[in-house]
Each structure stands twice: as structure tokens, then as C-alpha cells.
Structure 1
């Protein structure tokens, strides 16, 4: 995957609004976790962008995202829980694109995809 171009405005907002008090990997993970948990409105419909080795979803699958995965599962990357084919699964948020989400949720999803697309981690 090609690394996304630097977006200075987004970088500054992420640093000041999401990661302002984060000094280590765990604090960065929890900064992202709570930003997303408090900004995304559950449930919401999402489409799978691409297959991923950590997920049973395939490109173009549609799911209903019902919430964040437990904190302890989000210390390396952000996972969500979703209804898919009648069962609840855990999937990487980076694999999903929201469908008809509100403006704040779209920005949060874009922020997370930017973070992952830049190759950043916790």
C-alpha cells in the first residue's frame, strides 16, 4: 500500500485533539480508542475496503458496526465489533469505510485511515 501524503492540518489536529496527553504507545492507543468511541455513532453501516489477514471480511462485504472492541484488544490497532452474516465479528477499523455516517464520524474515520495510511502506529 502506498503511504499517504503528509497533511499538516490533520497532523496538527491529531496531535492537539487526539494525542495531546499521550506519551507512550498505550496512551496513544487509548487516545485513539476514546476519540473514536466518543465520535462514532453506533450502529453504522460500513463496507469492507479490502481483505485483511486479521479479518474474515472480503472486499465489498457490508457489515453493521455495533461498537468498539474491548480496550484490551485495541492496544496495537483499533478493532470494532460488527454484525456480519448473522454473527458478531471483530474487524480492524482500517478495513472499513462508513456508509452515510455523520460529518463528525466521517472525520474520525478519515483521521484513522490517514493515521494507518501514513504508517503510524502506537
Structure 2
């Protein structure tokens, strides 16, 4: 059975390694706001100090959210529709809106509109 995915803004188990210079490296996987899981690590003289440094780093990291928090991954679909409906629409260039010889429109006429 596979592991459950990390929830956004959370971290997994903390692992410890000893670096060649004798310092301890604490590291854990963290799920960022862009839904990517990244390895975060911190060092210290002891396991506890490395773990404290890592937890402080993870706490700071969770403060960085997307600039627009109107939508989250738990937002219902109607919220997305409302936000998209308020955005100004760009001029579409799909085939239904292009000038053709049959329509009598020219590219220069489109530029003036």
C-alpha cells in the first residue's frame, strides 16, 4: 500500500544524517503551496539542535502562501467560476472570430474595433 500524500503546508518524518564534518543534518519532505513536495534540511551540532533548526525553517516556510488566497485546493468549483467570471475577457483569436473574405471584414477593420 502506498503512503498517503502530504497535505499542503505539512511535512513528513524527520530523518537525520551525520555530515563528514561531524555536524548533524535533519531533513524532511515538505509539501509547498504549489503542491510540489520538496526536501528541506537544516544542520546543527546535535540531533536535537538540527531538528529544532529544521522545524523553525519549516514554520517560516509555511508563512509563504500564494499572493491570492481567494482560492485554495479545498475551494468548491463555483468559487472558481465566480472568480473567472469577474476577470476581463481577452479578445479571442480562435477561428470563429477571425476575419474572412466571406464576412467582408479585413484585418484593418479589426484593429479599429
Higher helix share: 1
Q: Same fold (TM over 0.5)?
A: no
Specify the structure having the higher radius of gyration (Cα). Answer: 2
The structure in which a higher percent of residues are strand is 1
TM-score by length of 1: 0.22
Q: TM-score, normalised by structure 2?
A: 0.24
